[in-house]
């Protein structure tokens, strides 16, 4: 029985690797699949990913605080949800912090009690000798100290607070003047930071839409075209704002800062 493990971001990828190895330990006859480990070098990843999504009987989505809204994670979750096989696994956040659409599905946190539920779910769907409840329980207890240590070693991703985001850009350059917070923020630096974040999001939508267009018959998307359009409009507007602010800064400078 194949288990698709979805991830997005470094810590989510690390978690997916741990879960893949753990599943093989507690239910040896299962076939956990992650793109990071199981995609053969030289293979075209898009057709292979589509194949794995369609053939998996269970999908585990590794959700961390820094990837909750990642477009690609949401796309894979949507594909898995169509076959009633979606199970979000939360690391560093609680079910109440998981927004829709994934928040509409029953999720598990990375605790002993809920990891046991996951192990039993994989075993039930495997329908083999290794998936029998007694066997799974025994192997789970044996493997738990290792899994607990691996999870404890993972650094919980954090999202910068609004105050932190307001005082520095992506490279750490201060948005506020050296004199202190009473000085007006530099709007050009703020706009560049916003554009960098918007372009990163758009790159995710570009990959998602390309994949969707090539596999639309089997993996339809919902409302993604509208989100992609809004993302493109945001990038366009930010580039125009930056162009105007750069012109203002070049012609005298001070007007590029907030004056009210």
In sequence order, which residues have a C-beta less than 8 Å from that of residue 62 and are 6 or more positions away? Answer: 5, 6, 7, 12, 13, 15, 16, 19, 89, 91
Percentage of the chain exceeding pLDDT 70: 67
Alpha helices in the chain (DSSP H): 10-26, 35-38, 45-55, 71-81, 112-126, 133-153, 162-167, 187-214, 224-251
- Is the model's pLDDT at 117 over the cut of 70? yes
Token couple for 37? 């480990």
**What pLDDT, on a 0 to 100 scale, did the predictor assign at position 258?**
32
Whole-structure pTM value: 0.64
- Is the model's pLDDT at 25 over the cut of 90? yes
Q: Which DSSP symbol is given to 129? A: G
Token couple for 80? 């898995």
Most distant CA pair in the chain, distance: 76
pLDDT category at 226 given cuts 50, 70, 90 is low
pLDDT category at 102 given cuts 50, 70, 90 is confident
Residue carrying the six token digits 């690390």: 14
């Amino acid at each position: 029985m194949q288990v698709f493990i979805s991830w997005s971001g470094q810590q989510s990828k690390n978690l997916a690797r741990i879960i893949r190895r753990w599943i093989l330990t507690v239910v040896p006859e299962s076939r956990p699949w992650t793109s990071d480990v199981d995609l053969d070098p030289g293979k075209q990843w898009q057709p292979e990913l589509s194949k794995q999504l369609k053939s998996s009987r269970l999908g585990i989505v590794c959700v961390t605080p820094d990837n909750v809204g990642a477009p690609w994670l949401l796309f894979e979750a949507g594909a898995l949800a169509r076959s009633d096989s979606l199970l979000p696994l939360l690391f560093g956040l609680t079910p109440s912090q998981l927004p829709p659409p994934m928040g509409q599905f029953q999720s598990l946190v990375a605790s002993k009690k809920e990891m046991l539920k996951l192990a039993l779910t994989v075993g039930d769907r495997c329908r083999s000798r290794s998936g029998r409840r007694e066997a799974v329980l025994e192997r789970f207890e044996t493997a738990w100290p290792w899994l607990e240590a691996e999870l404890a070693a993972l650094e919980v991703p954090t999202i910068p607070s609004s105050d932190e985001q307001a005082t520095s850009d992506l490279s750490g350059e201060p948005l506020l003047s050296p004199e202190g917070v009473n000085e007006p923020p530099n709007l050009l630096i703020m706009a560049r930071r916003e554009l960098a974040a918007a372009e990163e999001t758009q790159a995710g939508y570009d990959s998602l839409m390309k994949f969707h267009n090539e596999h639309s018959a089997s993996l339809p998307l919902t409302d993604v075209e509208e989100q992609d359009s809004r993302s493109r409009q945001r990038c366009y507007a930010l580039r125009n704002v930056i162009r105007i602010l750069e012109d203002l800064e070049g012609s005298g400078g001070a007007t590029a800062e907030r004056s009210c």
